Amino acid sequence: MPIAASNGIDVYYEIGGDPAGDPLLLVMGLGAQLTAWPEPFVDDLAGRGFRVIRPDNRDSGLSTSLDGVPANLFEAMADPAQAPYLLADMATDLVGVLDHLGIDAAHVVGVSMGGMIAQTIALDHRTRVRSLCSIMSMTGAPDVGQPTSEAMTALLTPPPQDRDGVLDRSVEMAAIIGSRTHPPDPDETRLRAGAAYDRAHRPEGGARQLTAILASGDRTDRLRRLRVPTLVIHGLQDTLIQPDGGRATAAAIRRAELIELADMGHDLPAHLWTRIADAIEKNARRADG
């Protein structure tokens, strides 16, 4: 599929749905590839008339990887200039995809780190965002959205080096951060993790992306100046970005709608796909109206 070059970064993306439909940009989270979006969920959005665009962020999937570039979390937090890149750079990458496709403005939906990137697109490229949806994400403020100790330990544990170890870790991580009332199926998690490993396994890229998150700082004051129809969705069982991260995001953005889901963790459980798609569509139509 096509690759859009921006600032020396090649961004791989896939596109589906009605070519004449309203463009909907889906931005995935930390270390995840575009294939992490559940296909039935994507198909549902496409069936609602959207032109669905799914990119691989830099340092994940088939987009440019900055292999060999070191990432020191603590140095970058003290001096953002020490980070290999920031969320603003990742946002610019995706605006480059819109440029490549000749799209003036899109509805933008992001999960986790993708929500942070989506927020940054709306802040740095305001005319390019028709509506914003931030899912299981946060503002970057250090006092909200912090992981539990168990989730933090799992996040910072060095990744396994072999395929079987990576699959085992994926199952363990899903059990820690996923929904407790609708836990991720271990066999399905292992299958998806194996497919992701075979497509593009880039553990060092995740470390650089995490550095970008921490070095980019707090967006709260800037979010207060946003004037774009905004939807914030957060699971009350989220242990990786706890629910106060979503609440702070909604509180910062003028007239943002907050939907808290009691039976969702840091995942997209299948039983909620339709409800989430309904909310995304409603927010997009609010923008169009």
The DSSP annotation for 187-234 comes to HHHHHHHHHHHHH---HHHHHHHHHHHHHH---HHHHTT--S-EEEEE
> pLDDT tens for residues 41-66?
999 999 999 999 999 999 999 999 99
Write out the two tokens for 103: 């799209």
CB of 198 within 8 A of CB of 222? no
The closest alpha carbon to 71, from 129, 31, 115, belongs to 31
pTM above 0.85, yes or no: yes
pLDDT of residue 57: 98
Which residues of the chain are modeled with pLDDT < 50? Answer: none
Strand order in the sheet with 129-135: 3-6, 9-17, 50-55, 22-27, 106-111, 129-135, 230-235, 257-261
CATH classification (class only), 3-288: alpha beta
pLDDT of residue 1: 65
pLDDT of residue 158: 87
